Amino acid sequence: MRNLDGSCLGNGCRARLKTSGRPELRLISAFADVTIYQLLLVAGVALFASLLGGVAGYGTGALMPLVLVPMVGAETVVPIIAIAALLTNTGRMMAYLPLVAWRRARLVLCGAIPPCLVSAYGYTLLTGKGAQLVIGTMLMLTVPLRYALRRRSVVLNDRGLLLGSIGYGALVGGTVGSGVVLLSLLMATGMESAAVIGTDAMLSIAIGFARLIVFGLAGVVTAKVLAFALLIGGVAFPGAFLARAFVAKLPIHVHTAILDGVVLLGGALMVFAALAG
């Protein structure tokens, strides 16, 4: 029942008002301006990125901005990926938990958390074009940075790991695709590959929570951010397990070459769009 001015009366309207405040309905309504084809594209890229991540060690943070920026804007991309990473890394951490190098993990957290908090807050102050420029530039830099770190074959002691973690923290707070830096730091300590995977997953979750606190206090964790993060994280969660089926069929250098090409092209397009806009 309604008043003459269109306002609601009666139990029916009160029920609708109560239902509209339910969290799950707010998350669903966050997709109101997104088409089903766009959602399928996001889900498909998330699954593909998780498969690459299960083989090459990274992928979600490098590929997802290419489809998210045109849909939700550059400002929300880092918060979305930070929340989604909590889900995508949980499976890896559970699988490799006994192999986590806790002492080295504590060193990384001590070095990375303070600058991560500062750079995450700085990201929330960027405009749309500024965020797009930062994301695009960082994506392009990850490719030569990864090759440079691999070629130098640096061996890090505890002090070197702590200092390197400070630089990683400054990058990860307000950018995407910087996970390759953490992987390179852990491998440079001489850790075995399985221990690197487990320790990287645990650190990614801990640093993800730190970023989430900053983004939450800054008010950028909206219903749309949560909705896209849950979609990406839910689709990508089984990627690490599905990746095993592809390892024998497609060499890892082919995966890496495809990822590098897409990341370089996508990053260049983002920078161009930011400068031309």
At which residue do the structure tokens 């002492």 appear? 103
CA angle 124, 229, 98 (to 5 degrees): 105
Whether residue 223 is predicted with pLDDT greater than 70 in this model: the reply is yes
Q: Which pTM value belongs to this model?
A: 0.71
- Taking residues 175-200, what's their average pLDDT? 79
Q: Could you tell me which residues come within 8 angstroms of residue 110 by beta carbon, excluding any fewer than 6 positions away?
A: 162, 165
- pLDDT band per the 50, 70, 90 thresholds, residue 71: confident
Q: By mean pLDDT, which of 48-57, 121-130, 185-194 is the weakest?
A: 48-57
In 3D space, the residue among 52, 207, 32 whose CA is nearest the CA of residue 64 turns out to be: 52
pLDDT grade for 7, boundaries at 50, 70 and 90:
very low
Q: At a CB cut-off of 8 Å and minimum separation 6, what does 152 contact?
A: none
Q: List residues bridging with 2 in a β-sheet.
A: 8
User: What pLDDT is attached to residue 5?
Assistant: 46
- The stretch 143-156 carries a mean pLDDT of 72
pLDDT (0 to 100) of residue 55 = 58
CB-CB contact of 19 with 8 (8 Å): no
At residue 17, the pLDDT reads 39
Burial of 15 from C-beta contacts in 10 A (0-12 / 13-18 / 19+): exposed
Percent share of the chain, pLDDT over 70: 70
- How far apart (Å, rounded) are the C-alpha atoms in residues 179 and 193? 15
- The residue assigned the tokens 């797009």 is 132
Tell me the average pLDDT of the chain. Answer: 76
Helix pair 77-96, 36-56: axis angle to 10 deg: 40
Q: Are 229 and 132 in contact (CB under 8 A)?
A: no
Q: Find the radius of gyration of the CA atoms of the chain.
A: 20
Residue 18 confidence (pLDDT): 45
- pLDDT at 45 > cutoff 80: yes
**Any idea which of 147-151, 168-172, 184-188, 246-250 has the lowest mean pLDDT?**
246-250
In the predicted structure, residue 200 carries a pLDDT above the cut 70: yes
Q: Is the pLDDT of residue 14 over 70?
A: no
Q: How many residues does the chain have?
A: 277
Residues ≥6 apart with Cβ < 8 Å to 136: 266, 267, 268, 269, 270, 271, 273, 274
Q: Report CA 92 to chain centroid distance, whole Å.
A: 15
Question: In the structure encoding, which two tokens stand for residue 194, read together?
Answer: 């399985």
Per-residue pLDDT, averaged over 116-120, amounts to 93
The confidence score (pLDDT) of residue 219 equals 87
d(CA 167, CA 178): 10
3-state helix, strand, coil in the chain (%, to 5): 80, 0, 20
- Predicted pLDDT at 165: 94
Q: C-alpha 161: how far from its chain's center?
A: 23
Weakest-pLDDT range from 46-60, 92-106, 204-218: 46-60
Residue 146: predicted pLDDT? 67
Residues above pLDDT 90, as percent of the chain: 14
Q: Choose the weakest-confidence range: 60-69, 166-175, 265-274.
A: 265-274
Structure tokens at 232: 């990406």
- Dihedral of CA 133/136/138/141: which sign? negative
